[in-house]
Amino acid sequence: MPDTTAPDAVPDHVPDHLPDVAPVTARPTHAGPLATAQEQLAGAIGRLGYDAGMHAMLATPRREINVAIPLRRDDGSTELFHGFRVQHNVSRGPGKGGLRYHPAVDVDEVRALAMWMTWKCAVVELPYGGAKGGVAIDPRNYSQPELERVTRRYTSEIMPMIGPERDIMAPDIGTDAQTMAWVMDTYSVNKGYTIPGVVTGKPLEVGGSLGRATATSRGVVHSTRAALREAGLDLPDVSVAIQGFGKVGSHAADFYSDAGSRVEAVSDQYGGVYRSGGLDVPRLLTHVRTTGSVVGFEGGDPIGNEELLGLDVDVLVPAAVEGVLTHDNAGDVKARWVVEGANGPTTARADAILADRGVVVVPDILANAGGVVVSYFEWVQAQQAYWWTEAEIELRLEERMLHAYAGVAEVARRESLPMRDAALMLSVQRVAVAHRTRGLYP
Ligand code: GLU
């Protein structure tokens, strides 16, 4: 198939007839993930030479909803939560992106995460746009029945916006396969029949895909291997530190260790552990399963989250939340590679510092795209009601990740850009080409 998204492939017969309006949300309103996302976009727009109209279109969410979610608690009292769903862009297909339950969720964070989903889906060439949802709640403080009620009410409030051809949800921080089962059930019951394609990351029993739960972590390890290869190295040659030991970090630790890397440090929100020469990851996973944290693991010494980021390891994997690598600590990073398991862990200023210091950052929209790649496989399987084997899924995931990595690396080389700028240039261009090709209605 010809690569119709190469920088020179913008068809010249397609007029650029976008309205020349001011980019209303192109300027960050406050420092945080949205400011980072907007700065990244502005950089790509500048490199691509797009006009203010295109910038405004890509800087502004296509559609967003803000809902109040009342919860009747188990003790009979009521509480109110705020929830959001943002569809950043749907030019290349339905919105796609996770649902986050975290006390710090706000609309600007969801906007940033939705924008990153647009670029992520474009980098790995999925036929999706980008979306994200969030509820400002700390799920650890609520019972399963309470979380089920919150999820069902949220789903019913955003119902007109979602659907297998409109906007497809998946797990993110604070949500899991069970959350997706509740979303799917609420949506299906209201429509009158079972619609598994409205969510991905579902339990296997209701149409989930083999390999989905570990897909993000596998993708992180595939992209690390691809980055190391450029330097003539392989996974057994390197030491790794991982910040975040949730769905992404814990499986990544397992896969790195299986592949022969020395996982020297890991951390979660409660603290971290470090052992020069490598932690015993299987024993660490057993410890986490029994205690709920990496803290207290006897096979290593305690280490703080901030200290972990500055460890003298080869590969640093931030796999927790946004904005952990900032201008304050980017100068302390000793790793040669930063592979972003989390979305938006590096601020724009930190990025510049890392680039100056020769640190290779494999950006989130590429490094952690394995999750949405297998989400796509799950959606395709659900639409066809035909299920693939785990081996097929793993193979196709690896192919797609390596292909995407090669595409980004090629732009990075050709344009002499860091990987993030190359990935953004490629993805922003793919979205812009789709937008221009469709034209404006009316
Ligand atoms: N929440 C994941 C992400 O940020 C997965 C999204 C999806 O599969 O739709 O990439």
- Render pLDDT for 327-385 as a digit per residue (tens, 0 to 9): 999 999 999 999 999 999 999 999 999 999 999 999 999 999 999 999 999 999 999 99
CB of 96 within 6 A of ligand 1: the answer is yes
Q: Summarize pLDDT for 284-339 with one digit per residue, the tens.
A: 999 999 999 999 999 999 999 999 999 999 999 999 999 999 999 999 999 999 99
Mean pLDDT over the full length of the chain: 93
Q: Which of 178, 285, 281 is nearest to 239 (CA)?
A: 281
Task: Give the pLDDT of residue 3.
Answer: 39
d(CA 80, ligand 1 centre) in Å: 26
CA of 277 to the centre of ligand 1 (A): 33
Residue-level pLDDT at 45: 98
In whole angstroms, what is the distance from residue 41 CA to residue 62 CA? 16
Index of the ligand 1 atom closest to the CA of residue 120: 10
| Pocket lining: 98 vs ligand 1, CB cutoff 6 Å | yes
Whether residue 371 has its Cβ less than 6 Å from ligand 1: yes
- Parallel, antiparallel or unpaired: strands 271-274 and 301-303: antiparallel
Ligand 1 centroid distance, CA of 131 (Å): 9
Q: Which atom of ligand 1 is nearest to the CA of 99?
A: 1
Burial code (b: 16+ CB inside 10 Å, e: under 16) for 158-193 equals: beebbbbeebbbbbbbbbbbebbbbbbbbbeeeeee
pLDDT reported for residue 355: 97
64: left (phi over 0), alpha (psi -120 to 50) or beta: beta
Pocket flag, ligand 1, residue 344 (CB < 6 Å): no
Q: Which residues of the chain have a pLDDT value below 50?
A: 1-30
Ligand 1 centre to CA of 171 (Å) is 7
pLDDT of residue 31: 67
Q: Of 96, 120, 132, 247, which one is the catalytic site residue?
A: 132
**Ligand 1 atom closest to 98 (CA):** 1
Domains of the chain: 61-203 (3.40.50.10860), 215-367 (3.40.50.720)
The pLDDT assigned to 16 comes to 37
Of 301, 241, 242, 304, the closest CA to residue 270 belongs to 304
Q: Counting atoms of ligand 1 from 1, which one is nearest the CA of 116?
A: 4
For the CA of 173, the nearest atom of ligand 1: 1
Cβ partners under 8 Å of residue 60, min gap 6: 23, 24, 25
132 is catalytic: yes
Kindly state if the Cβ of 341 falls inside 6 Å of ligand 1.
no
Torsion sign over Cα 413, 234, 172, 95:
positive
Q: What is the pLDDT of residue 332?
A: 98
Residue 370 Cβ < 6 Å to ligand 1? no
Which of 166, 251, 372 gets mutated to test ligand 1 (max ligand atoms within 8 A of its CB)? 372
Residues 48-62 have pLDDT tens digits of: 999 999 999 999 999
Angle in degrees, CA 122, 212, 141, rounded to 5: 105
Is the pTM above the cut of 0.75? yes
What pLDDT, on the 0 to 100 scale, is given for residue 416? 97
Does 200 sit in the ligand 1 pocket, CB within 6 Å?
Answer: yes
Candidates 85, 216, 247: which one to mutate for ligand 1, based on the most atoms within 8 Å of Cβ? 216
What three-state secondary structure class fits 202? coil
